[in-house]
Amino acid sequence: MRMQLISLMSVVALAIGQAAAANDEIVGQFDGSLKANSKVLNITLDCRSKTECVTTWNGSETRMNGVKPFAKFDIATTALECARRRDLSQINNPEILAEQSAVAPLLASGGTFDMCWDLNSPTPTYTLACVADRTPFRASSLYLLVANPWGRGVGQCGYMIFTLKRNG
pLDDT single digits (tens) 4-22: 434 433 333 333 333 334 4
pLDDT single digits (tens) 65-98: 889 998 778 888 988 998 898 888 888 888 888 9
Question: What proportion of the chain, given as a percentage, has pLDDT over 90?
Answer: 45
What is the number of domains present in the chain?
1
Mean pLDDT, the chain, integer: 81
pLDDT single digits (tens) 38-58: 899 999 999 999 999 999 999
Distance CA 88, CA 107 (A): 13
Q: Which of 121, 120, 119, 81 is nearest to 130 (CA)?
A: 119
Alpha carbon 55 to chain centroid distance? 13
Answering whether pTM is above 0.85, one says no
Query: What kind and span of H or E run contains 28?
Result: strand 28-36
Supply the range of the domain harboring residue 117. Answer: 2-166
